[in-house]
Structure 1
Amino acid sequence: MKALKAVWGFRGFILSSVKREFQSRYSNSVLGATWTVLNPLAMIFIYTLIFSQVMRAKLPGVDGSFAYSIYLCSGLLTWGLFSEITVRALNVFTEHSNLIKKMNFPRLCLPVIVVATALLNFTIVFGIFTIFLVVSGNFPGAAYFSIFPVIAVQIAFAIGLGISLGVINVFFRDVGHFFGICLQFWFWLTPIVYSAKILPEQARSIIEFNPMTSIMAAYQNVLVLGEWPDWQRLSIVALLSAVLCATAVHLFRKHSGDMVDEL
Structure 2
Amino acid sequence: MVKSIWYYRQFICSCIKREFLSRYKGSVLGVVWSIVQPLAMIVVYTVIFSEIMRAKLVGMDNDGLAYSIYLCSGVLTWDFFTATVMACTNVFLVNGNLMKKISFPRICLPVISVGSAFLNFCISYGLFFIALLVLGRFPFDLIIFVVPILFVQIIFACSFGIGLGVLNVFFRDVGQLLGVVLQFWFWFTPIVYPSKIIPEKLLAFMNFNPMYYVVRSYQEIFVYNQVPDFVELSGVLFIGFLLGVWSLRLYRRHVGEMVDEL
Residues 161-197 of structure 1, C-alpha deviations (whole Å, 9 max, x = no match): 1110000000000000000111111111111111011
What's the TM-score, normalizing by structure 1?
0.93
Residues 119-165 of structure 1, C-alpha deviations (whole Å, 9 max, x = no match): 11111111111121122110112211101110110011111111100
Closer/same/farther in 2, CA of residues 46 and 30 from structure 1, 3 Å limit:
same
Q: Secondary structure at the match of 1:226?
A: coil
Which residue of 9, 24, 30 maps to 2:22?
24
1: CA distance, partners of 2:59 / 2:105: 49
Closer/same/farther in 2, CA of residues 182 and 198 from structure 1, 3 Å limit:
same
Larger deviation, residues 46-55 vs 135-144: 46-55
Aligned match of 1:168: 167
Query: How many Å apart are 1:56 and its aligned residue?
Result: 3.1
Aligned match of 1:106: 105
Residues 211 and 237 of structure 1 are in contact (CA less than 8 Å); yes or no, is this contact kept in structure 2? Answer: yes
Aligned match of 1:93: 92
Closer/same/farther in 2, CA of residues 223 and 58 from structure 1, 3 Å limit:
closer
Closer/same/farther in 2, CA of residues 58 and 223 from structure 1, 3 Å limit:
closer
Aligned match of 2:256: 257
Aligned match of 2:116: 117
Residues 67-86 of structure 1, C-alpha deviations (whole Å, 9 max, x = no match): 11111111011111101100
Aligned length: 261
Residues 76 and 121 of structure 2 are in contact (CA less than 8 Å); yes or no, is this contact kept in structure 1? Answer: yes
Residues 146 and 228 of structure 1 are in contact (CA less than 8 Å); yes or no, is this contact kept in structure 2? Answer: yes
Aligned match of 1:70: 69
Residues 75 and 216 of structure 1 are in contact (CA less than 8 Å); yes or no, is this contact kept in structure 2? Answer: yes
2: CA distance, partners of 1:236 / 1:230: 11
Where do 1:239-258 residues align within 5 Å? 239-258=238-257
Residues 47 and 193 of structure 1 are in contact (CA less than 8 Å); yes or no, is this contact kept in structure 2? Answer: no
Query: How many Å apart are 1:207 and its aligned residue?
Result: 2.4
Point out where structure 2 has 5 or more consecutive residues left out of the alignment: none
Query: How many Å apart are 1:49 and its aligned residue?
Result: 6.4
Residues 56 and 66 of structure 2 are in contact (CA less than 8 Å); yes or no, is this contact kept in structure 1? Answer: no
- Aligned residue type for 1:142: D
